């Protein structure tokens, strides 16, 4: 069977897999991403993953026809050049990730931002199937975003299109790493939840899953923190949805694991804010591909756009 390599590079782990054109993962595994060793560590990690997948494909009788990589930061152009290195992987600015992946794998390759490839994966084989216009928000430490219109990814000139986490939520608000202020991700992410929970009188140092467990037991600070973050996210997505009136708004990332705690206030604030027919047209759903969204999306990107 024809398969593509899908790679999902994070700050601590490199997830990788073999994926069919239908988005089925026939094999997957994980290695450390070795980001502390800089570009050489990242390259070694990618080589290890590609080598392991080539061996697995030979053994299982699959033919690798393309290789794709999703990673945080801004990636642009046919060489897959890293224009903005993410804070968790410093030192890879200027890395021609596409060219490198092509030479290591020996097949056509494509590289893009992790939320962008996740949006493509959800659009093709996930929650966005049958939805021509889709908005994806991956809510974790920050908020990643991807936009699909008419079945096509919206990237813009340098590949930064769809980064809804950096739309303005509070004028002159908290400072953001790229120099702006008041960005949505500072008020509606896992990081925001932890801060808001403390503001609401909750204990310091709690992780989102601990806060969720406390909310499930009815602790007031935890319930109110999730309510605030969910409403913030709903209002932020209302801004983006007003522009494109999506058929589906997909919520992915670690914070989506909180389920109704996040989704109920999100849906409520969204519907209260947007035009009636924006609300009527948009289904707000949990993203479907979960922690394999990066692998599947990267593989589908490679099948469709590999060079």
Binding site for Zn ion (CB under 5 A): 166, 176, 180, 183
How open is the CA angle 287-64-91, to the nearest 5 degrees? Answer: 65
Shortest Å, Cβ 178 to Zn ion:
5
Give me the helix-helix angle, 260-273 and 208-216, nearest 10°: 90
Q: Return the number of the residue (114 or 219) whose C-beta is nearest Zn ion.
A: 114
Q: How far is the CB of 66 from Zn ion (least distance, A)?
A: 33
Q: How far is the CB of 198 from Zn ion (least distance, A)?
A: 22
Give least dist CB 89 to Zn ion, A.
Answer: 18
Query: Nearest distance from residue 126's CB to Zn ion, in Å?
Result: 26
Q: Is 298 exposed, middle or buried (0-12, 13-18, 19+ CB in 10 A)?
A: buried
Count of alpha carbons within 13 angstroms of residue 192, beta-carbon side: 30
- Decide whether 121 or 142 has the Cβ nearer to Zn ion: 142
* Nearer to Zn ion (CB atom), residue 180 or residue 254: 180
Task: Identify each DSSP E strand in 131-268 by its residue range.
Answer: 134-139, 143-149, 152-153, 248-252
Nearest to 187 by CA among 144, 142, 138, 146: 142
Angle of helix 293-305 relative to helix 114-125, nearest 10 degrees, comes to 80
The whole-angstrom separation of Cα 224 and Cα 111 is: 39
| Comparison of 180 and 281: residue with beta carbon closer to Zn ion | 180
Minimal distance, residue 305 CB to Zn ion, in Å? 27
The answer to whether the CB of 69 falls within 8 A of the CB of 46 is yes
Would you say how long the chain is, in residues?
307
The distance of closest approach from Cβ of residue 190 to Zn ion in the complex, given in angstroms and rounded to an integer, is 16
Q: Which of 191, 182, 179 is nearest to 143 (CA)?
A: 191
Closest to Zn ion by CB, 132 vs 180, is 180
Give me the helix-helix angle, 208-216 and 220-244, nearest 10°: 110
Which of 30/83 has CB closer to Zn ion?
83
Counts for the chain of helices (H) and strands (E), in that order: 9, 12
- Cβ proximity to Zn ion, 45 vs 189, nearer residue: 189
Nearest approach in angstroms of CB 181 to Zn ion is: 8
Residue 300 burial (10 A CB sphere; 0-12, 13-18, 19+): buried
Closer to Zn ion by Cβ: residue 93 or 176: 176
């Amino acid at each position: 069977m024809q398969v593509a390599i899908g790679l999902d590079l994070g700050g601590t782990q490199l997830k990788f897999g073999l994926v069919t054109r239908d988005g089925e993962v026939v094999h997957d595994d994980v290695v450390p991403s070795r980001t502390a060793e800089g570009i050489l560590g990242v390259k070694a990690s990618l080589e290890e993953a590609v080598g392991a997948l080539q061996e697995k494909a030979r053994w299982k009788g699959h033919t690798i026809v393309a290789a794709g990589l999703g990673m945080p930061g801004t990636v642009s152009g046919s060489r897959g050049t890293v224009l903005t290195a993410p804070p968790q992987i410093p030192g890879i600015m200027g890395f021609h990730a596409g060219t490198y992946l092509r030479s290591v794998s020996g097949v056509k390759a494509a590289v893009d931002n992790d939320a962008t490839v996740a949006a493509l994966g959800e659009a093709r084989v996930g929650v966005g199937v049958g939805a021509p216009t889709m908005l994806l928000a991956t809510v974790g430490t920050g908020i990643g975003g991807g936009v699909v219109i008419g079945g096509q990814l919206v990237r813009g000139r340098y590949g930064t299109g769809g980064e809804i986490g950096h739309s303005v939520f509070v004028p002159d608000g908290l400072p953001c790493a790229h120099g702006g202020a008041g960005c949505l991700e500072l008020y509606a992410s896992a990081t925001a939840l932890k801060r808001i929970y403390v503001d609401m009188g909750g204990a310091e140092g709690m992780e989102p899953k601990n806060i969720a467990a406390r909310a499930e037991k009815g602790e007031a600070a935890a319930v109110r923190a999730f309510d605030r973050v969910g409403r913030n996210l709903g209002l932020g997505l209302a801004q983006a949805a007003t522009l494109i009136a999506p058929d589906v708004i997909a919520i992915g990332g670690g914070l989506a694991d909180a389920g109704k705690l996040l989704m109920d206030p999100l849906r409520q604030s969204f519907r209260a804010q947007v035009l009636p027919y924006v609300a009527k047209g948009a289904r707000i759903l949990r993203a479907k591909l979960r922690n394999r969204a990066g692998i599947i999306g990267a593989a589908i990107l490679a099948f469709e756009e590999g060079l």
